[in-house]
Structure 1
Amino acid sequence: MKTMAKILVTDPLSEEGLQILTRKEGFQVKALQKACAEDELIRIIPEYDALIVRSGTKATRPVIEAGVNLKIIARAGVGIDNVDVEAATEKGILVINAPEGNTISTAEQTMALILNLARKISWAHQSILEGNWDRKSYKGIQLHGKTLGVIGLGRIGSEVANRAKAFGMSVIGFDPYLSHEQADMIGVELNTLEDIYKNADIITVHTPLTPKTKGLIGKNEINMMKNNVLLINCARGGIIVEGEIAEALKSGKIAGAAFDTFEVEPPKDNPLIHLPNVLSTPHLGASTSEAQISVAIETCEAVVDFFTTGVTRNSINFPSVAPEIYEANKPFLTLCEKMGYLLGTLREGHMKEITITFSEEMEGKPTHIMKLAALKGFLEPILSEGVNFINAVSVAKERGIPIKEVFSSGTTDFPEIITLKVRTDQGEIEASGTVYHNKDPRIINVNGYEFEMAPEGEYLLIKNRDTPGVVGVVGTLLGESGINIATMQLGRKGSDALTFIRVDQKPSDKVIETIKKNPAIIDAKSLSF
């Protein structure tokens, strides 16, 4: 059987996940047993279509640029700071992660560290090992009645909040992407960061590491905190300024801290790890057998779906769509891409703007990916480099092409219509389309010429003066060249006509030039939908 995808796994992955790949017909899988160094990865990556990594391997820009066949990079876990997402996006490579597989494991690790800090369990255990029986030195605090501040209320943060409430804690949180209604559902009172710093007895961080969250908690934030606050980081190293936290731990402003992640791992010369009031663990958030299996299965299933159905799950650089929604709207995606291709072929002059208009009946549909499909289709005839759904926006932005998405309430013969308009320094061109019977894309208008054209296969597009005999002359020329006509769609406007002639084979440049010599022909183009 023809190989569908060659997949490279560069970090240890559970057998349950690998079997999903190895048992899939058409998949070739190479699984390395340890993280791959950059120079070695650059050497071997060109032949692979997919790269699966955990936290050990770094998919850097040089690696991505060397991956000339790469279509997807899958991170078996949540954090993607070891993947250069920007470089992948520029190359049109999908980046996905596995955000659900280790949610429970990491939430439980967070609660374990909170309890350990609060009751000083590790220190008391060490004292016992040293032959002591010292109850007074290890008096802790109870969680009941205390206020927990959760920064980041995604999957993990929400699970931590649920568990904290079971201990009788009051939970306040900060997440700029969470609505008050959703916060009420999980029983968390939304606060500002400043309010959390001022009011929380224990603060735990559950955000990704981004330019906005790097150094989120440092000296200024510490000064706002309660005395004897406890601080936990089971998210990503770098969110908390480690040197400034160390000073606060030494002074007693912060009573204790627990770190499962560090800015540099393993931590070398880190001011935190030797402090007596710091509990450190070696990035164990996802280190349960259940989480490892779950993450591997989630990752490998997503990779298989990508290659077999085109569905993207848990995408970092492309809007994820549920499989059933993707399938239901696939004809609209095809329509948008084909209309984009048509206008990209017809366009003349320097670009000004692209506008995609949806009829109001389409509100609630995934129009954001339809817009990407239209942009991809439009750019493909213009650019020589590969353009796809993932890098279309990036490519357009590089070239200063803005794209607008609007909804219209106009009355038409069709309930669901999409109109794509391209404006250049030489004027405007537009195309409108719809989907018949929920499955058949049709282009129904081009620059005011009305017809019903199925955008698939080879076409000859003729713009001519609407005079008798023109279509017959074109038909004769095609017949003499051995080109059979399958269908024909004619649209009229004023004294001109626009004709889409579907042919069984692509007309040669010589045939098109011969057609254009006819004085009644304004223009002729070949289209490959």
Structure 2
Amino acid sequence: MKVLISDNLHAHGVAIFEQAPNIEVINRPGMPPEEFMEVVQDVDGLVIRSATKVTDKVLEVASRLKVVGRAGTGLDNVNIPEATKRGIVVMNTPGGNTVTTGEHAISMMLALARNIPQAAHSMREGRWEKKRFQGREVYNKTLGIIGLGRIGTVVAGRAQGLKMRILGYDPFVKKEMVTSCGVELVTLDELFARSDFITLHTPKTKDTAHIISREAFRKMKRGVMLINCARGGLIDEEALKEALEEGIVAGAALDVFEQEPPVGSPLLLMGNVVCTPHLGASTEEAQENVAVAIAEQMVDYLLNGTVKNAVNAPSVSGEVLNQLRPYLTLAEALGAFQAQIAEGPIDSVNIEYIGEISKLDTTPLMHSIMKGLLYPVMRDEVNYVNAPAIAKDRGIHLTETKVESAEDFTTLIRLTVRAAQKENILAGTIFGRYEPRLVRINAFRLEAVPEGHMLFIYNTDRPGVIGAIGTTIGNHKINIARMTVGQEKERGQNIILLTTDTSVTPECLADVRALPHVASAHPLEL
């Protein structure tokens, strides 16, 4: 078997591949695109970091490819749905960069507060400008942390050592889980208003894109300093430039950008901006950790068929995988649906396996449900292997029940999720041999295909409401592919599940929510 290493990989990781029996290593980072497209046609494994783009065209020509391994966490550069469709396992190494990225954020904050890069540059030019580069202490200042996952909590721990007051915002974390870290959990607006420094540690999702916007800057304490070592696109860079010029923001430290490299960005020329070229994970220790981890995972998969830290396949044998495949798809969709309608941090999850499914090994199904539940919030940091452990760390209580006697369907998975004192119940089954269906949402019965771009609506059961919704969405040039309606006559309520060809835009969503008799509308991605 052949493994292509197309990006720079630590020597210890390369050595693991070279020492494995029956594996030929092609270590050629930085190939021109034409050469890469030729070489990738004949390999079984592909090792990447952030430079290589694994597009649908790459996957189309790589007819032998069995596994793609990312030495790191982020998988924005891999077309995961296309890889899944072709049966290619995609692995990453979550957690390998946690300490390194957290330390880089603290380093950036201190460099920003004390003008270290600017002063060093001035010294190299032969100047001695002591007064010009007067800085500020971080002692007794307030640090606002947006996103309290693994990296955010590392930053909180380091900031405690610097004797800072720490505020945190994370709508998916419960208060009792962070108070032990010395973090005061607050609303986003309160964090903006009280923080002297703000650091971002959240994935980029539809909810967090431009979470730091013009409106956000207007809510911040004047003279705040901003640090982003998480993802480009969390900050509206044009709005940041204006806030820096107006003095709302005293300085910014940026390791990531909306476009990388940020060629021509005016932020690079501003004296109160500290920039580094996406160095959050760039330490000797982190690069060795992720290289060794991805090499061991890929060798184990290629030689033994063992799946570990895959984002698109659970850790099961091929035989079990074939038996469970349609149920795994259903299970993950149920989890993702629940995550996107939950309001606030999730307290408990109850999974019921009813009928024929109760006779199978349901452990992979639990992993799929938990992965689906956490992915909308954590993105590439969560996978089929680590999802239950992450859920436990977040204080989510999990229970599972098996019931052999069938109800309305020969097999059923019922998922009950409690968040912020509100409970939602979903149930799904398999039609035929391979077709997942959602058959219950709370008190409503229906039959819906749980996939694609969706809009979930609660509305009053009145004539003309469904027509108005369809017309409104059509006015935004969005095509409705499928519509499913569930009715509760006693309360005079409907639920509507729409599948659209493209995602519902924020403008369209606002117009739908403004319609008479529409109680709520949630965009979903399944």
TM-score (norm 2): 0.62
Match in the other structure for 2:62: 67
Distance in structure 2 (CA, Å) of the matches to 1:307 and 1:425: 33
Distance in structure 1 (CA, Å) of the matches to 2:411 and 2:182: 44
Match in the other structure for 1:367: 365
1:378-425 residue CA offsets vs partner (Å, 9 max, x unmatched): xxxxxxxxxxx99xxxxxxxxxxxxxx99444689xxxxxx7477759
Identity of aligned residues (%): 38
Match in the other structure for 2:7: 11
Match in the other structure for 2:95: 100
Instruction: Name the SS of the counterpart of 1:51 in structure 2.
Output: strand
Instruction: Name the SS of the counterpart of 1:101 in structure 2.
Output: coil
Give, as a single letter, the amino acid of the residue that structure 2 aligns with 1:144.
Y
1:364-387 residue CA offsets vs partner (Å, 9 max, x unmatched): 944335899xxxxxxxxxxxxxxx
Give 1:87's match in structure 2, choosing from 67, 82, 88.
82
Distance in structure 2 (CA, Å) of the matches to 1:338 and 1:112: 45
CA contact 1:77–1:102 (8 Å) conserved in 2: yes
CA contact 1:76–1:97 (8 Å) conserved in 2: yes
The yes-or-no answer on 1:21 pairing with 2:17 is yes
Give, as a single letter, the amino acid of the residue that structure 2 aligns with 1:128.
M
- When the two chains are superposed, the root-mean-square deviation of aligned CA atoms in Å is 3.6
CA contact 1:339–1:420 (8 Å) conserved in 2: no
Distance in structure 2 (CA, Å) of the matches to 1:362 and 1:172: 46
Following superposition, the deviation at residue 185 of structure 1 comes to 4.0
Q: How does 1:440-455 map to 2 (within 5 A)?
A: none
CA contact 1:357–1:406 (8 Å) conserved in 2: no
Structure 2 unaligned blocks of 5 or more: 328-351, 371-382, 385-398, 413-428, 434-526
Match in the other structure for 1:398: none
CA contact 2:354–2:403 (8 Å) conserved in 1: no
CA contact 1:237–1:264 (8 Å) conserved in 2: yes
Instruction: Name the SS of the counterpart of 2:155 in structure 1.
Output: helix
Distance in structure 2 (CA, Å) of the matches to 1:312 and 1:338: 15
Match in the other structure for 2:29: 33
1:87-121 residue CA offsets vs partner (Å, 9 max, x unmatched): 22332322222222222222221111100111112
Following superposition, the deviation at residue 137 of structure 1 comes to 2.2
Give 2:194's match in structure 1, choosing from 191, 199, 214.
199
Q: Summarize the Cα distance change of 1:370–1:102 in structure 2 as closer, same or farther, 3 Å threshold.
A: closer
CA contact 2:326–2:430 (8 Å) conserved in 1: no
Match in the other structure for 1:148: 143
1:169-205 residue CA offsets vs partner (Å, 9 max, x unmatched): 1222223443333323433233332222222211111
Distance in structure 2 (CA, Å) of the matches to 1:362 and 1:292: 40
Match in the other structure for 2:160: 165
Give, as a single letter, the amino acid of the residue that structure 2 aligns with 1:7.
V
Instruction: Name the SS of the counterpart of 1:273 in structure 2.
Output: helix
Q: How does 1:448-467 map to 2 (within 5 A)?
A: none
Distance in structure 1 (CA, Å) of the matches to 2:207 and 2:159: 27
CA contact 1:6–1:27 (8 Å) conserved in 2: yes
Q: Summarize the Cα distance change of 1:115–1:238 in structure 2 as closer, same or farther, 3 Å threshold.
A: same
1:405-463 residue CA offsets vs partner (Å, 9 max, x unmatched): 99444689xxxxxx74777599xxxxxxxxxxxxxxxxxxxxxxxxxxxxxxxxxxxxx
Distance in structure 2 (CA, Å) of the matches to 1:241 and 1:370: 34
Give, as a single letter, the amino acid of the residue that structure 2 aligns with 1:17.
G
Q: How does 1:103-118 map to 2 (within 5 A)?
A: 103-118=98-113
Give 1:357's match in structure 2, choosing from 350, 354, 359.
354
Q: Summarize the Cα distance change of 1:103–1:73 in structure 2 as closer, same or farther, 3 Å threshold.
A: same
Distance in structure 2 (CA, Å) of the matches to 1:181 and 1:312: 34
The yes-or-no answer on 1:241 pairing with 2:259 is no
Q: How does 1:503-522 map to 2 (within 5 A)?
A: none
Q: Summarize the Cα distance change of 1:67–1:180 in structure 2 as closer, same or farther, 3 Å threshold.
A: farther
Distance in structure 2 (CA, Å) of the matches to 1:238 and 1:72: 29
Match in the other structure for 1:447: none
Give 2:286's match in structure 1, choosing from 291, 298, 322.
291
Give, as a single letter, the amino acid of the residue that structure 1 aligns with 2:25.
V
Match in the other structure for 1:227: 222
Match in the other structure for 2:252: 257
Instruction: Name the SS of the counterpart of 2:108 in structure 1.
Output: helix
Distance in structure 2 (CA, Å) of the matches to 1:10 and 1:127: 39
Following superposition, the deviation at residue 165 of structure 1 comes to 0.9
Q: How does 1:98-497 map to 2 (within 5 A)?
A: 98-319=93-314, 333=320, 336-337=323-324, 357=354, 365-368=363-366, 407-409=401-403, 420=411
TM-score (norm 1): 0.62
Distance in structure 2 (CA, Å) of the matches to 1:309 and 1:173: 43
Give, as a single letter, the amino acid of the residue that structure 1 aligns with 2:366.
H
The yes-or-no answer on 1:78 pairing with 2:76 is no
Q: Summarize the Cα distance change of 1:364–1:178 in structure 2 as closer, same or farther, 3 Å threshold.
A: farther
1:450-500 residue CA offsets vs partner (Å, 9 max, x unmatched): xxxxxxxxxxxxxxxxxxxxxxxxxxxxxxxxxxxxxxxxxxxxxxxxxxx
Give, as a single letter, the amino acid of the residue that structure 1 aligns with 2:102.
A
Instruction: Name the SS of the counterpart of 2:250 in structure 1.
Output: strand
Match in the other structure for 1:347: none
Following superposition, the deviation at residue 154 of structure 1 comes to 2.2
Distance in structure 1 (CA, Å) of the matches to 2:279 and 2:127: 29
Following superposition, the deviation at residue 52 of structure 1 comes to 1.0
Distance in structure 2 (CA, Å) of the matches to 1:316 and 1:86: 10
Instruction: Name the SS of the counterpart of 1:137 in structure 2.
Output: coil
Instruction: Name the SS of the counterpart of 2:267 in structure 1.
Output: coil
Distance in structure 2 (CA, Å) of the matches to 1:309 and 1:133: 62
Following superposition, the deviation at residue 275 of structure 1 comes to 0.4
CA contact 2:7–2:28 (8 Å) conserved in 1: yes
Q: Summarize the Cα distance change of 1:339–1:92 in structure 2 as closer, same or farther, 3 Å threshold.
A: closer
Aligned residues: 364
Give, as a single letter, the amino acid of the residue that structure 2 aligns with 1:158.
T
1:193-233 residue CA offsets vs partner (Å, 9 max, x unmatched): 22222222111112223333332212111111111111111
Match in the other structure for 1:382: none
Instruction: Name the SS of the counterpart of 1:245 in structure 2.
Output: helix
Distance in structure 2 (CA, Å) of the matches to 1:131 and 1:292: 36
**Higher Cα radius of gyration:** 1
Distance in structure 1 (CA, Å) of the matches to 2:66 and 2:105: 35
CA contact 1:79–1:208 (8 Å) conserved in 2: no
CA contact 1:85–1:95 (8 Å) conserved in 2: yes
Instruction: Name the SS of the counterpart of 2:227 in structure 1.
Output: strand
Question: Which consecutive aligned stretches of 4+ in structure 1 deviate over 6 angstroms post-superposition?
Answer: 358-364
Give, as a single letter, the amino acid of the residue that structure 2 aligns with 1:127.
S
Instruction: Name the SS of the counterpart of 1:226 in structure 2.
Output: coil
